[in-house]
Structure 1
Amino acid sequence: MKRLIAFLLITICLTVSIAAQSSNQTKVSGSVKDPADAAVAGARIFLLNTKTRMEETTVSGADGSFAFESVVPGDYEIRVSAEGFAVQNQAVQVTSVGVNNLEIALGIGEKRVTVTAEVGQAEQTENVPQAVSVIGTNEILQRTTSVIAQIGEEEVGLNVQRTSPTLGAIVVRGLTGKNVVNYVDGVRYTNGAQRGGINTFFNLNDPSNFQTVEVLRGPNGAQYGSDSLGGTVNLLTKSPVFGDTPKFGGEIIPSFSTADRSFGSSVLLSYGTNKFGGYANIFGRRINTLRTADGIDSHSAITRFLGLPSDILYDRSPNTEFTQYGGSLRLNYAP
């Protein structure tokens, strides 16, 4: 009898919660235009809740108009893409009265970027007083040939430190370890380094799981804690997409490198409706022994300090091979 009463109470609470959430929903609408103020039809609009990471999508009509129904008030990021135009991002705050007549102008060859400078809140980069590096999906896939720490390559103020084939982290303005704090979707990610050393578990994150990486360069202790002396790294995962109609999606990303004859692949399958969105991602890679030029390891101590060839001690680069595999599953439901 007690179990039945408890079950009924839980059911009533959930029903009231869903009903309250539904009553607070509002609408976001607007139009997409080109630089000549003409309507852009067929543009794809994504509405991302920066707190829950739930994303909806729709397509602009013949007059360039679009609308999202049943939107919960909060901070959102709108991303608009259309063939022949640059991707446009815009931060939007949705109140209880909704957002109407929102005009988004697509430019040619220009791109506006938003960042989550505060956890769960999107802002335009020009409004953020701190230096920020935003690394997109394409850059993530191109740079990470073996570990995710390589996303820091080619970025101003960032370097990559690797103490072994699998251990490594991003160096922000010369600091790493306990002086750089890591987040995944705004949730603190342990680095296992209460010293000045390397971030132990950072490379357990697979690059194929992430859509964007944001790095705030410089201290921000009030927002992220005292261990953000060097900076803050925020890894943002891919979000399941909601749509007006049920839609399946998928991608296969193979990889191969000649330097170590490494190979691997990731496979992502997604499905979304107007109430449900989800995806499953599996990945695996094999990194083989690094093949140095002429068989000489320039990082070897006897080569660096004594000028002797490293092959008098060992052949090639031993113990630089490893295998990594895993997966992720994400499901979102909107009542």
Structure 2
Amino acid sequence: MTKGMMRRAARPTLALLLAGVSMPALAQESAAEAADAETVDGTDIVVTAQKRSERLQDVPIAVSAIGGDSLERQRVTQADELAGKIVNLQLTSTVGDNTPIFALRGVSMSDYSLNQASPVATYYDEVYKGNFAFLGVAMYDLERVEVLRGPQGTLYGKNTTGGAVNLISRTPVLGDTEGYLNLGYGNYDRYEANGAVSVPLGETLAARVAFTFARADGWFKNQLPDEPDLASVREYGIRGSLLFEPSAGARFVLRASTSYQNPRNYGIYAQPETVNRPGLGRREIEANVTDRRRART
């Protein structure tokens, strides 16, 4: 069974939507869908792939974009899941969820050490995440995701031979109060919640707070006595944003965020003869290395 199939098996089966807010929608460009991806419901898709706001169809580079609403509808909650949504984007993940080593146009890295920088750069709100372990809990309250096929060294500097992945979170909204809250429960005793609220603080100032939380038991059953199951979920993230727009030509955004992950990963340290021992099921393992992977950003 593939890793994607295993993840889907642990997805929540029941979700309760308490309130929602519409944001820019889907724009996934491919050879067959390029014409349809330029507009959604008659609205132009605006991207900042060239460090300025442009309509997607006016950008003279190979770029794909997915809007925040589409990410929510498709339940994309981890950066690892982007590989199934973006044409030509692939990844490997050797130390657990939300630590993707991206590959674009066949360019990636074969060294999986945590102190290496990938040739496909990841930017979170224009902040360079040189190490794939720095990404943390990234996929919540996003405005859009942009993937640029490389090389992109002219605008994005080093480590963009393969391309660049831009994760762009939602900004506060002037003049209106809006928000949403999603609650979910699923198999493997999974609990999750995410939401955001944006409030105006005056005519030129607004604030937004967003959060996410998830907890689930492991779906990789450990057959050793007194050893915990693996591939559990323990994570949360919170982000605050402040928007100051004194005039039509000036816009300042200040963001602060933190996230924490504390899961038990599946048996990446187990010996092959132990993992593949006859009699073990497809989601069973015998692993005596069950330490938690702690990651704080």
Q: TM-score range by the shorter chain?
A: 0.5 to 0.7
Percent identical pairs in the alignment equals: 24
Cα distance in 1 for residues equivalent to 2:121 and 2:210: 26
Cα distance in 2 for residues equivalent to 1:330 and 1:117: 21
Name the counterpart of 1:230: 162
Cα distance in 2 for residues equivalent to 1:223 and 1:289: 42
- Return the TM-score normalized by structure 2: 0.59
1:129 to 2:40 alignment: no
1:201 to 2:134 alignment: yes
- Return the TM-score normalized by structure 1: 0.53
Cα distance in 1 for residues equivalent to 2:230 and 2:155: 40
* Shift in CA distance, 123/168, structure 1 to aligned 2, threshold 3 Å: same
1:324 to 2:235 alignment: yes
- 1:134-161 deviation digits (Å, cap 9, x = unpaired): 0111232245555233133232111242
Shift of 1:164: 3.1
Name the counterpart of 1:175: 107
Shift of 1:216: 0.3
Report the structure number with the largest CA radius of gyration. Answer: 1
* Shift in CA distance, 114/270, structure 1 to aligned 2, threshold 3 Å: closer
Shift of 1:132: 1.0
Shift of 1:185: 2.3
More divergent stretch after superposition (141-150 vs 282-291): 141-150
* Shift in CA distance, 144/274, structure 1 to aligned 2, threshold 3 Å: same
Matches within 5 A, 1:262-301: 262-272=190-200, 273-290=202-219
Matches within 5 A, 1:26-45: none
Shift of 1:325: 1.1
| Ranges in structure 1 where 5+ consecutive residues have no aligned partner | 1-78, 89-106, 193-198, 296-310
Residue 112 of structure 1 contacts residue 124 of structure 1 at CA under 8 Å; is this kept in 2? yes
Name the counterpart of 1:213: 145
Q: Which amino acid aligns with 1:201?
A: F
1:141 to 2:79 alignment: no
1:152 to 2:91 alignment: no
Cα distance in 2 for residues equivalent to 1:108 and 1:221: 30
Runs of 4+ aligned residues of structure 1 deviating over 6 Å after TM superposition are: 311-317
Shift of 1:315: 11
Matches within 5 A, 1:70-89: none
SS at match of 2:219: coil
Shift of 1:214: 0.4
Residue 164 of structure 1 contacts residue 320 of structure 1 at CA under 8 Å; is this kept in 2? no
Cα distance in 2 for residues equivalent to 1:141 and 1:323: 20
- 1:227-256 deviation digits (Å, cap 9, x = unpaired): 10111011111111112xxx3222102234
Relative contact order, higher structure (CA 8 A, sep 6+): 2
* Shift in CA distance, 117/145, structure 1 to aligned 2, threshold 3 Å: closer
* Shift in CA distance, 239/80, structure 1 to aligned 2, threshold 3 Å: closer
RMSD: 3.3
- 1:8-56 deviation digits (Å, cap 9, x = unpaired): xxxxxxxxxxxxxxxxxxxxxxxxxxxxxxxxxxxxxxxxxxxxxxxxx
Cα distance in 1 for residues equivalent to 2:160 and 2:170: 25
Name the counterpart of 1:70: none
Paired residue total: 204
SS at match of 1:241: coil
Of 136, 152, 163, 2:94 maps to 163
Residue 218 of structure 1 contacts residue 230 of structure 1 at CA under 8 Å; is this kept in 2? yes
Q: Which amino acid aligns with 1:179?
A: P
Q: Which amino acid aligns with 1:128?
A: V
SS at match of 1:334: strand
Higher helix fraction: Structure 1 or Structure 2? 1
* Shift in CA distance, 334/116, structure 1 to aligned 2, threshold 3 Å: closer
* Shift in CA distance, 314/218, structure 1 to aligned 2, threshold 3 Å: farther
Of 21, 24, 48, 1:116 maps to 48
Shift of 1:108: 8.3
